Structure 1
Amino acid sequence: MTFPATVSAGTGAGDSHPAGRPGAGELLDRLRARAPGAAVAGPVTHVERIPARPGTVAEWPEWVPADLRAALAGQGVSAPWRHQVEAATQAYAGRHVVVATGTASGKSLAYQLPALATLLADPRATVLYLAPTKALAADQLRAVAALGLDGVRPACYDGDTPRAERDWIRAHSRFVLTNPDMLHHGVLPGHAKWSAFLRRLAFVVVDECHTYRGVFGSHVAHVLRRLRRQAARHPRTPGQPVPGQRGGAAGPPGAATAAGPVFVLASATSGDPAVAAERLTGLPVSAVTTDTAPRGGLTFALWEPPLLPPPTANAPEPADPTEVAEPTEVAEPTEVAEPTEVAEPTEVIAAVSADAAPVRRSALRETADLLSDTVAAGVRTLAFVRSRRGAEVIATTARRALDEAVPGLGARVAAYRSGYLREERRSLEQALLGGELLGLASTSALELGVDLVGLDAVLICGYPGTRASLWQQAGRAGRSGREALAVLVARDDPLDSYLVHHPEALFGRPVEATVLDPANPYVLGPQLACAAAESPLTPADLELFGEGAKEAVEELVAGGALRHRPTGWYWRHVRRPEVDLRGTGGAPVDVVESATGRLLGTVDPASSHFQVHPGAVYLHQGASYVVDDLDLDDGCALVHAEEPDWSTHPRDVTSLSVVSVRSYLDAGPVGMFLGEVDVTSQVVSYQRRRLASGEVLATLPLELPARELRTVAVWFTVSPESLAAAGVEPADVPGALHAAEHAAIGLLPLVATCDRWDIGGLSTAAHPDTEAPTVFVYDGHPGGAGFAERAYRAAPAWLTATRDAIAECGCEAGCPSCVQSPKCGNGNNPLAKAEAVRVLDVVLANLAAAGPTEPGESDRSDRG
C-alpha cells in the first residue's frame, strides 16, 4: 500500500490554526530562520506538502443497537466513516478482518462496533483486547468506559493491575484489555480460572498489529494460537450466539462457528496487511485498506543539521554524551517491542582522532532546540527519539533553554520513556492530554494509537527504521483535523543522510510489509513447550501450530522436555517453561537509589550491560545518578545521586563463527551466503569523557558475563586477488571491509523491516570459517528475525544503495553520514572509504554476472 499522494512542496499557505499559534508553514519558516547555518544553505533539504482530505461517511449498520449509537453520539461520533462500517460489518458477520488505514482514521470504532454490539446483545459474551503497550490499553479503557454502557464492565489486566483486582476482573469484566505478555504469562497458564471468560469469548481484538514483527511477532503469533486452542477447549455455552449468527440468523459462508472467536486486527498502513494478519493469527483474514476518514494537511520537512567547524586545540567542540551506542528500547510492554542492541564490532578497541572527519551538529541538540522553539511559540509538540537516554537529554536541554528565556516555562516540557513507574507514566499522559505539558520528548512508547488530541507538531529525531513507523509518528500531530508540521531531523548516519537527500525514498513509496516467521524453531519449540504445560498437545494441535511443529515436538521429546503418551504429549517438569516474548533476557533490572531504597525505574537485562553497568551515569527526568553496583542475579542496580562532569560510554567486543549455510550464490571471486552463526559479545570496558570537550578521561575495565546468540546472517566473501585487481591494497582491506560493513548495516532498512539497532555485523580480512575477506550482517535475535533473509534476496539492490551512499557523500575520508557507525565497538577504526566503494564494485559486478540470489530450501522467511 502506498501513502496518499502528495502535491508539490510549499510553505503551508492556507494553514488554518487557532489565533495565537502559528500554522504549520509559518512555524517551519520560524524554525528555519532561527536554525544554525540558516544564513548559508539552511538545514531543510526538502519540504513535502500533504494536502487535507475530506472524509466519506456511511449509514449506521442496522445491527448497531440504539443505545450504542446514542453513547457514541455523546462522544462526538455522529456518523461512521465508510471503512469503519466495512470492517465492522465483516467482523459482525463472523469474518476475521484487519483494518489497515492511516493514523487517526478511527480504527478503534471498527472493532468497538461489533464487539460492543455483541456484548449488549448477549449478556454472556466477552471480548479480549490486546495492545502492544500499556499506554495504549489504558487509553482504550478510557474510551470504552467513557461510553457508559451498562454491563460491559471494561478493565485493564496487566502487570500494573493490583492483585486484589485480578479476581474481580476474571469473574466480572466482559471487556478485558491486556497485552501479549500478560496473556502469555498470566491468562493462558491460568486458563482454568479464565474458563468462564474463554468459553464466552466472541471477539479478540489485536490492536496495532504491525508492531508484532521479527522474533517478538513470531512469539505473539504462537501466543494467539495458544489462545485459540484454549478457547476451543472451553466450548461455548449451548445456545450462546456467536458472531455471524445473531438473533438466530445464520452467518455468511466463512462465518465463525462455536469453535472460536472472531479476530479483528487494526494496523497502521502497511504492505500486504492481510498476509501479515494471516501469518499472525493462523486464520484467513480479509483486509480493509481504503482510508475514508478526513485528514488535515501536513507539512513534512526533512532537516539535516549543519556541519560543525573543525575543532581546534584551544576551542574544542563540546561533545554530545548521548551520541553513543544505546541499547534499543526493550521493555515490559510500556512501548513497542524492540530487539536488544547488537554491536558492530571488530577485533581491536581503539579511539578515533577528533579531527578525523567532519562532524554534524548532534541530532539530539538540534531536536532539543526545535522543541524549545515550538514550545516557546505555544505549539504543542511531541519529539520522538530512539533511546531512553536521548529522551532524557532532549527534555533536559529544552527545559534549560526555556527557563533561560522565560523562567518557569521549562516546567512545561518532560521526558516519557519505558522504565518509568506506572504512576509517572499515567501522570505524564494526563498532563499532555490536559495541556499542562506543551512538549514531550518520548521514545516509541507514544508512537501508537494513544489519542493525543491537540498536538500541532512532531519532531522525529533520527529515522525510526521503517516508513510505517515514520508515518505513525508523524501522524501524532494534527489529530484534531488541523494543519500540522512534522520534521525528520537526520542523525549523522548513512541512512539518515541518504534519506534527507533522496526524499523519493520516503514520499509516495509503499510502506514495508511486516516480517515475522512462526516457523522459526527458536520460537516454535519454546512455544510448544508452553502449550504443553497448559494442557497436553494432540496431533490436531500440531496442525494448529503449523509448519515445523511435528519436528519441534520430536526434538522436545528427545530432549526430555515432553513425554509421548497415547493421549498426547505431556510436559514433564514441575515448573513452567520460561519464555521471554520480547527478547529482553528475563525480568527487568530494578534501578534503586542506595541511600533511600527508592525505586527509580527499570532496565531490561540485556540493556543493563550498557545502561547501568558499575560506574555508568544513569539519567531519570533530568536528575543524574551514578551506578555503584549491578547485581544481575538479583536484578538490581544500586545508584547514588551525582552530577559528574563526565559521561560514560560502554565498549564491547564480539566474535562470530559459522554454524551452517542455508543458501549460497557462487559468483566467481565473490560468494553470497545465508546461514546460521554463533555470535558471542561482551561489554569489557567503558570510557569516561568530559562533558565540555569530549576528552577521554579514563578507560575502565568491566567484568560482565558474555552474551551468546545463535542467529541468522547474510555474508559475502571476496577473493584477495579480485581486491588487488580493483586497486585495494592488502593494508587497506580491513578498513575497506569495515567501512562497507557499517554502510551496509545503515542501509539495510531500505530492503527489510528493521533499523540498524535490530542487526549487527562483523568484518575481517581473513575469517577462519570462510578463509577469505568477509563481511557479515546478522539478525540481533535468537534464531533470526527474517532480516538477513530479505537482505540475501535483495542483495544487489541493498549493496547498490550502500555503494551509492558511500560514493555520493561529500566527505573525503569517511564520516558518520556514510561509513562511521554510532555503535561501533572499535571506535570506527580502521575505515577506508574509497576502498570500500571498490570492494562493493567488485561484489556488485560479479553478482550481476551470476544472476539473482534465490532463497534455498531452508529459507523460511516467507513461510508462515
Structure 2
Amino acid sequence: MAELSMEDIVVELQRQSFYCGQIIEAASIVEPAVEAQYASLLEHSKVDSSIWTALREARGIEQLYSHQAQAIDYIMQGHDIVVSTATASGKSVIYQLPILDLLLRDPQARILIIYPTKALAQDQLASLNELILQIPALRHVLVSTLDGDTPSALNSAQDRNQRTAIRQSASVILTNPDTLHVAMLPGVARWQTFWACLRMVVIDELHIYQGRLGQHVAHILSRLQRLSTQFQFVACSATTSNPQAHMQQLTHRPDIKVISTDGSPRGARHLVLWDSLLKAGKLSTSAFSDTAYIAGYLLRCNKRAIVFCKTRQACELVQREITDYLSTSADLRSLRSQVMSYRGGYAPRERREIEAAMFSGRTRMVVATSALELGIDVGSLDAVIVVGIPITTASLWQQAGRAGRRSQTALALVIATSAPVDRHAVASAENSQAVFDRCFAPAEITTDLAIATAHLQCAAFERPINVEGVDSGFINEICDSSEELVRNVLTWDAATLRWACPMSYKPWPAAKVFIRSTRPTNEDDCWQVVTISNSSSNQKSVGRRVLEEMEAARALFALYEGGIFLHRGQTYSIDLVDPDTRTALVTHANVSWHTAKRDYTDIVPALALASAQPWPHVQYIYGDVEIATTGIGYRRIDSRTRKVVETVDRASPRLSTKSRGVWIDIPADVARKLVQSDYSVEASIHGAQHALLAAICSVIGCAPTLLSTECIGQEMPHRRSKPLCLVVFELSPVANTEDGPLLRSVARSRDI
C-alpha cells in the first residue's frame, strides 16, 4: 500500500469492511499542529560548549524550546522549579543539561534523580550516559541506578562491593521513593558523604505522587531535607491544574517557579472516539476484534503504534487477537513477529528486550498496560489505540501523547467497550464530547495521621528528634499536632536529650512502613509459573523455565488445572497446580481459545481486630480473613467469536491466602424475613455486599480494584454451611495494618 497521510488513513479507515459506523463523529476532533517556540539561555546561564556538542551529537538538539530555556535559567539561578508540559515535550533535557554543567563546575557534587518505576530509571540511565560519553571531561563520572534490582548487600561480597561503589563513587544516582525510604535514608551514617555533597534532587513524573502515595513521598522528602539542605528541587510533571501547589505539598518549599507554557512543536493530532457496540445497519464486533482490525489496518499502512489495555489479561488477549487476525491475511502474515505485548509480571530482562525492540524499530506495535504510560522511550510512534476509556483525563492524555513526536501528525483512537464506565461516556452527545476535554483535576495528597506517625518513627531512627531546636520545622511538616504526637509515639533519650525511635519499630523502622498500597511480594507470597519442554507434568522434568512470577492474590484466579495461561501472545496449558510449592506447571499449547475459570470463593473471618457499631444491633468488624478459591472447571471461549464453546468440569486444587477484611454478621431473623418474603437469601447477601463495597470506596476514597467480595453464583456445587454475613476484603494484603482502606472504613463508620 502506498504511503498515506494520517488524514487519508482516518478517511480510509471508514471504508474498511469492518467499519459499520463505530466512529462517534460529534466527539472526534482534530487538534491543529503547533509550531516550536525557541529561546536562548540568559547570559548568566551559559554552559560549556562541550555540553552543546554532546546534545547535538547524541540528540540532534541545536536549540532549546522556550519552556526548556526558561526552566534551565531558573535552575541556574538556584530556584526550585516544576515543569508541567505535555508528554514528549523534552522535559528530560531540562534537568540533564544543568546536571552536566554542575558536574563540570563541581566534580564533588552529587545528584539524586527519583523516578516512580525501575523501568523508567533504567531508560533514563542510558539516556544520561549517552550524553556523558560525549563529554571528555566527564567520562570518568559514574552514573548508576540503585533500586530493588541492584544486588543486595545481604548477598555476596561482590554484591556488597557493588553497592558500596555506588554509594561512595556515583556522582548521579537514579532511584525510586521506595529505595530512598527503606535503604538510603536509614543508612544515614554510610550515606553521610553523599548527603553532604548533594546539590540537586530531580523528581520525574511528579503527578504520580498523589493520594496516600503522595503523602508518603512528602514525608520521605521531609526526612531527606533533615539530612541534607544544600540542594534544589527540579520536578517534571504531566499536565495538572495545580503543579506549583502540588510540588509545595510534596517538598514544603515555599518559593517554587512553575513553567507550564509549552514551547515544543506538535503535529496535528486526530482524536477519534470509537464505539465498539454502535450499530449502523449491522451489529459491530467486540472491542477486541475491532482493535485487531484497526491494528492490522495501521500495520498495512506502515504505521507504528501502541495499543493500551486496562488489564494484564486484556493485554494478552488483544495481542493474541491481533496476531491471529494478521495470520488470516497473506500480506500481513509476516508482520506477526513485529507485534509484542508488554505488561507487569514479565521478567525485567524481557521488558528491556521489548523496549529495545520498540526503540530500534524492530517491533512496530506493542500491546501494553499502563506500564508504558510513563515516559519510557520507545521511539517515534504514529498512533495510539486506547482500549477502554481511561478513568482520568490525565491518564488519557498521557497515553494519547505517546504518539506524534515533534511535527509528526498522529492518531489517538479511543475505543469504548461494554464496560459500564464506557457506556456512560458514550450515552449522550454531551458525555461523548467530554471524553477529549482538557479539564485536569488538581493533584492532591492525603493528610493521614497513621502515615505521619510511621514516618516520624523512621525519622527518629535516622537522627533523634529535637522538638524545640533544629527539627521544629520538620515536625511541623509532619502534622499539625506534631509536638504532642512526638511525645506520644517516641521515646525520650536522656543521654542525647532527644526523642528517639522506640524499640517496637527497631531494628529497621522503614522496613515496617510500606509506601505503596500493598505489601511487596515476598517468597512466601509468590507463585511461579514454570514451563516444561515436554508434555510430562513430572516436576523433575528437564527443560524447566520460570515463565512468570505472580503474587498469591493474582494466582487465586489465574492458575487452575486445565486452563490456558497467556504469556507474550503464547498460549500454555496449565497441567499442574501445586499449592505446597506454589508452582504451576504449564506446557505450550497452540490453541485458538482461552479459558475462564469456574470457581467459588469462600471468605471466612478468622480474627477480629477492631469494630464499630454504627447502628443499633449492627457490628461492623475488621480483622483477618482467609480467602479460599475452589476451582470446579472452566469455560473454553473461542478467541475470535468470544463465544463459549465448551463448559468443562475439572476440579482444581483449593488455593488460599490471607488478607484483611470487614464483615457484618446477619441475624437469623433477617434471613427468615427474606425467606418469608420470597427473596433469595444468598442473592440478597450478594447484592448487599456489592453495595457495601461501593459505599466503602465512595466514603474512603479508595479504588474499587483494591477490594473485592464473595461472589455466590451458579458455580457453587452445593449450599455451604457457614454463618451468614456481609464481607468485603482487600485483594492484596495491605502494607501497613494501620493504613488499609478497610481499617479506615471502621473509623469512618463511627462518624457516620
Structure 1 residue corresponding to 2:212, chosen from 203, 212, 215: 215
Structure 2 residue corresponding to 1:365, chosen from 289, 292, 297: 289
Q: Is the 8 A contact 2:661 2:728 kept in 1?
A: no
The question of 1:528 aligning with 2:456 is answered yes
Structure 2 residue corresponding to 1:580, chosen from 478, 496, 514: 514
- The aligned runs of 1:762-841 (5 Å cut-off) are none
- The aligned runs of 1:591-670 (5 Å cut-off) are 591-593=529-531, 595=541, 596-612=543-559, 617-625=564-572, 626=574, 628-629=576-577, 636-643=582-589, 647-649=595-597, 652=601, 659=611
Q: Is the 8 A contact 2:206 2:236 kept in 1?
A: yes
User: CA separation in 1, counterparts of 2:16 and 2:699?
Assistant: 36
Quote the residue 2:436 is aligned against. Answer: 507
Structure 1 residue corresponding to 2:192, chosen from 192, 195, 202: 195
Q: TM-score, normalising length from structure 2?
A: 0.76
What displacement does 1:756 show? 4.7
Quote the residue 1:848 is aligned against. Answer: none
Higher relative contact order (CA 8 A, sep 6+): 1
Structure 2 residue corresponding to 1:494, chosen from 417, 420, 427: 420
Quote the residue 2:391 is aligned against. Answer: 465
User: CA separation in 2, counterparts of 1:447 and 1:130?
Assistant: 17
Structure 1 residue corresponding to 2:326, chosen from 402, 407, 430: 402
User: CA separation in 1, counterparts of 2:236 and 2:177?
Assistant: 15
Quote the residue 1:823 is aligned against. Answer: none
Quote the residue 1:72 is aligned against. Answer: 55
Structure 1 residue corresponding to 2:660, chosen from 705, 708, 711: 708
Q: Is the 8 A contact 1:459 1:489 kept in 2?
A: yes
Q: Which amino acid aligns with 1:442?
A: A
Q: Which amino acid aligns with 1:213?
A: Q
Quote the residue 1:839 is aligned against. Answer: none
The question of 1:158 aligning with 2:143 is answered no
User: CA separation in 1, counterparts of 2:571 and 2:47?
Assistant: 55
- The aligned runs of 1:130-529 (5 Å cut-off) are 130-147=114-131, 148-149=134-135, 150-151=137-138, 152-162=141-151, 163=159, 165-231=162-228, 259-284=229-254, 285-306=256-277, 361-405=285-329, 406-501=332-427, 502-517=431-446, 519-529=447-457
Q: 1:433/1:651 Cα in 2 relative to 1: closer, same or farther (>3 Å)? A: farther
Q: Is the 8 A contact 2:306 2:368 kept in 1?
A: yes
User: CA separation in 1, counterparts of 2:687 and 2:28?
Assistant: 31
- Counterpart secondary structure, 1:477: coil
Q: 1:139-160 CA deviation, whole Å, 9 max, x = no partner?
A: 2222212223333432222233
Q: Is the 8 A contact 1:215 1:784 kept in 2?
A: no
User: CA separation in 2, counterparts of 1:90 and 1:208?
Assistant: 19
Quote the residue 1:24 is aligned against. Answer: 6
What displacement does 1:20 show? 4.3
What displacement does 1:98 show? 1.2
Q: Is the 8 A contact 2:24 2:272 kept in 1?
A: no
Q: 1:579/1:546 Cα in 2 relative to 1: closer, same or farther (>3 Å)? A: same
Q: Which amino acid aligns with 1:682?
A: I
What displacement does 1:422 show? 2.1
Q: 1:142/1:703 Cα in 2 relative to 1: closer, same or farther (>3 Å)? A: closer
Q: 1:521/1:754 Cα in 2 relative to 1: closer, same or farther (>3 Å)? A: closer
Q: Is the 8 A contact 2:602 2:627 kept in 1?
A: yes
Q: Which amino acid aligns with 1:129?
A: I
What displacement does 1:176 show? 1.2
What displacement does 1:381 show? 0.8
User: CA separation in 2, counterparts of 1:102 and 1:752?
Assistant: 31
Quote the residue 2:666 is aligned against. Answer: none
User: CA separation in 2, counterparts of 1:542 and 1:485?
Assistant: 49
Q: 1:491/1:738 Cα in 2 relative to 1: closer, same or farther (>3 Å)? A: farther
Q: Which amino acid aligns with 2:67?
A: H
User: CA separation in 2, counterparts of 1:785 and 1:271?
Assistant: 28
Q: 1:255-281 CA deviation, whole Å, 9 max, x = no partner?
A: xxxx24211111100121222222222
Q: Which amino acid aligns with 2:576?
A: D
Structure 1 residue corresponding to 2:40, chosen from 59, 68, 71: 59
What displacement does 1:127 show? 0.7
- Counterpart secondary structure, 1:28: helix
Task: Give % identity.
Answer: 29
User: CA separation in 2, counterparts of 1:88 and 1:375?
Assistant: 40
- The aligned runs of 1:712-727 (5 Å cut-off) are none
Quote the residue 1:13 is aligned against. Answer: none
613-622 or 267-276: which moved more?
Answer: 613-622
Q: TM-score, normalising length from structure 1?
A: 0.67
User: CA separation in 1, counterparts of 2:379 and 2:594?
Assistant: 39
User: CA separation in 2, counterparts of 1:433 and 1:748?
Assistant: 43
Q: Is the 8 A contact 2:307 2:384 kept in 1?
A: yes
Q: Which amino acid aligns with 2:507?
A: V
What displacement does 1:97 show? 1.7
Q: Which amino acid aligns with 2:263?
A: T
User: CA separation in 2, counterparts of 1:177 and 1:397?
Assistant: 38
Quote the residue 2:717 is aligned against. Answer: none
- Counterpart secondary structure, 2:264: coil
User: CA separation in 2, counterparts of 1:262 and 1:709?
Assistant: 43
Q: How many residues align?
A: 660
Q: 1:603/1:761 Cα in 2 relative to 1: closer, same or farther (>3 Å)? A: closer
Q: 1:767-799 CA deviation, whole Å, 9 max, x = no partner?
A: xxxxxxx99999997767999999xxxxxxxxx
Quote the residue 1:715 is aligned against. Answer: none
Q: Is the 8 A contact 1:32 1:44 kept in 2?
A: no
User: CA separation in 1, counterparts of 2:231 and 2:80?
Assistant: 9
Structure 2 residue corresponding to 1:569, chosen from 489, 500, 523: 500
Q: Is the 8 A contact 2:72 2:94 kept in 1?
A: yes
Q: Is the 8 A contact 1:296 1:482 kept in 2?
A: yes
What displacement does 1:608 show? 3.5
Quote the residue 1:235 is aligned against. Answer: none
Q: 1:92/1:609 Cα in 2 relative to 1: closer, same or farther (>3 Å)? A: farther
User: CA separation in 2, counterparts of 1:465 and 1:751?
Assistant: 18
What displacement does 1:53 show? 1.0
What displacement does 1:546 show? 3.1
Q: Which amino acid aligns with 1:570?
A: C
- Counterpart secondary structure, 1:458: strand
What displacement does 1:563 show? 6.6
User: CA separation in 2, counterparts of 1:145 and 1:555?
Assistant: 48
The question of 1:685 aligning with 2:669 is answered no
- Can you give the 5+ residue segments of structure 2 that lack an aligned partner in the other structure? 152-158, 532-538, 664-669, 671-676, 713-725
What displacement does 1:476 show? 0.4
User: CA separation in 1, counterparts of 2:455 and 2:389?
Assistant: 33
What displacement does 1:498 show? 2.0
User: CA separation in 2, counterparts of 1:59 and 1:856?
Assistant: 58
* Alpha-carbon RMSD: 4.4
User: CA separation in 2, counterparts of 1:417 and 1:492?
Assistant: 22
Q: 1:218-265 CA deviation, whole Å, 9 max, x = no partner?
A: 32222222222332xxxxxxxxxxxxxxxxxxxxxxxxxxx2421111
User: CA separation in 1, counterparts of 2:296 and 2:657?
Assistant: 41
Q: Is the 8 A contact 2:529 2:549 kept in 1?
A: yes
Higher share in strand: 2
Q: Which amino acid aligns with 2:648?
A: L
Q: Which amino acid aligns with 2:245?
A: V
Q: Is the 8 A contact 1:46 1:303 kept in 2?
A: no
- Counterpart secondary structure, 1:33: coil
- Can you give the 5+ residue segments of structure 1 that lack an aligned partner in the other structure? 1-18, 232-258, 310-357, 665-674, 712-719, 721-728, 765-773, 791-854, 860-864
Q: 1:339-362 CA deviation, whole Å, 9 max, x = no partner?
A: xxxxxxxxxxxxxxxxxxx99854
